[in-house]
Amino acid sequence: MTTPPPNSGADRQSSPMTPERWRVVDAILTAALSCEPAQRDAFVVRACRGDEELRREVASLLAAHDRAGDFLERPASEALASGIAPTSLSKRLATALAGRYQIEREIGRGGMATVHLARDLRHGRWVAIKVLRDELGAAVGAERFLEEIRVTASLQHPHILPLFDSGSAEGLVWYVMPFVEGETLRSRLTRERRLPVDDALQLMREMADALEYAHRHGVVHRDVKPENVLLQSGHALVADFGIALALENAGGARLTRTGITLGTPSYMAPEQVAGDRPIDARTDVYALGAVLHEMLAGESPFAAASHQVMPRNVMHEPLIALATRRADVSSSLDAAVRMIGSRARVHSRRRSP
């Protein structure tokens, strides 16, 4: 298990590039790549917490990424650490889950977790296993996180990707979902940019039905975005229900050590942006409206804003009318999308902290 980014004066003097330290570099690098390019330098400075050597290392890898493209198909610790050959995550996972799951390969990587394709040996089915990054697992604590996500396993709905299994072993914290042969909504939007109105409304209704069901069972998603919507035979499956909440409840203030922020700015409701108000089902409704806006307009409501300006825009600026983006969006649909945003802002202002 890796250690969090150092913050003591002794650490800053000279920190050898051990496998653990390379995993810290890799974590910050991956999170930085999820930021807008103009915001990466500021993010790296915050995440490195005064460790100049760490900052320089991450900055050099970001520069290499810009020159050579996305090399994060394997960890930076494996690809770039001269003379260091730590055990790969896939091998660690295969050892930890031997006899239960046969690990095939890594199929995805994000700021908080990696995803592996595996064979469930007991049930003879393909599954996707998400493994929390070492830094995140250390910050939240395996036992508390696994306790928090138990409620997610009870959700059963045709448009919610179910949770099959979870656990911790060999210093890894993981959870298991069905493997969906298809693509994410993000992939489709990247390819098509804007969806036909009927397709967008169908997907929105399916996501809304999933959210309403989860809310009745006391679960708020907190990170609704196109990356968390899988498309199977043209229908929506919302993934990672309750994971963001479990991470926050389990990790608390310790999450700041990882340099990872829960939530995605383009889809965050005003109360998430403010960071000082309770979050409830209306937070997901706002995010759903932002996703619908992107499906219809080709970009999220405040996509053009910088990360510094975006919080102010979310709180105060009106949404641009969809009718100005495309002629086939009716005035009633346009008004409904904008109403979601305006109601969320009023809701955020009226509630007491």
- Within 72-153, strands assigned E span 101-109, 113-120, 125-132
Mean pLDDT of 260-286: 73
Query: What is the CATH topology of the domain spanning 183-350?
Result: Transferase(Phosphotransferase); domain 1 (1.10.510)
pLDDT of 305 > 60? The answer is no
Helix (H/G/I), strand (E/B), else coil: 107: strand
- Taking the alpha carbons at both ends of the chain, their separation in whole angstroms is 37
Task: Choose between 308 and 267: higher pLDDT.
Answer: 267
Q: Which residue has the tokens 């830094």?
A: 135
Query: If one looks up domain 89-178 in CATH, what number appears?
Result: 3.30.200.20
Q: Which of 19-23, 73-77, 199-203, 286-290 has the highest mean pLDDT?
A: 199-203
In the structure, what pLDDT confidence band is assigned to residue 178 with cuts at 50, 70 and 90? very high
pLDDT digits (tens, 9 = 90+) for 107-116: 887 777 889 9
Least confident of 181-185, 228-232, 252-256: 252-256
- Can 223 be counted among the known catalytic residues? yes
Mean pLDDT of 65-73: 39
Mean pLDDT of 225-254: 83
pLDDT of 31 > 50? The answer is yes
pLDDT at 77: 36
pLDDT digits (tens, 9 = 90+) for 136-150: 887 788 888 888 888
Task: Choose between 204 and 322: higher pLDDT.
Answer: 204
pLDDT at 317: 60
Question: How many helices and strands in the chain, by DSSP H and E?
Answer: 16, 8
pLDDT over 90 percentage in the chain: 30
Is-contact 348 315, C-beta < 8 A? yes
pLDDT at 181: 84
- Rounded distance between C-alpha atoms, residue 30 and residue 13, angstroms: 25
Is-contact 167 174, C-beta < 8 A? yes
Instruction: Return left, alpha or beta for 195; rule: phi > 0 is left, psi -120 to 50 is alpha, else beta.
Output: beta
- Rounded distance between C-alpha atoms, residue 3 and residue 8, angstroms: 13
- Rounded distance between C-alpha atoms, residue 116 and residue 105, angstroms: 6
| This model's pTM is above 0.85 | no
pLDDT at 258: 53
Q: Which of 6-10, 228-232, 275-279 has the highest mean pLDDT?
A: 228-232
- Rounded distance between C-alpha atoms, residue 312 and residue 317, angstroms: 7
In the structure, what pLDDT confidence band is assigned to residue 80 with cuts at 50, 70 and 90? very low
pLDDT of 104 > 70? The answer is yes
Nearest to residue 228, comparing CAs of 108, 146, 345? 108
Sign of CA pseudo-dihedral 4, 33, 303, 295 = negative
Q: Out of 51, 223, 240, 284, pick the active-site residue.
A: 223
pLDDT of 44 > 60? The answer is yes
pLDDT at 216: 94
Is-contact 146 130, C-beta < 8 A? no
Task: Choose between 257 and 300: higher pLDDT.
Answer: 300
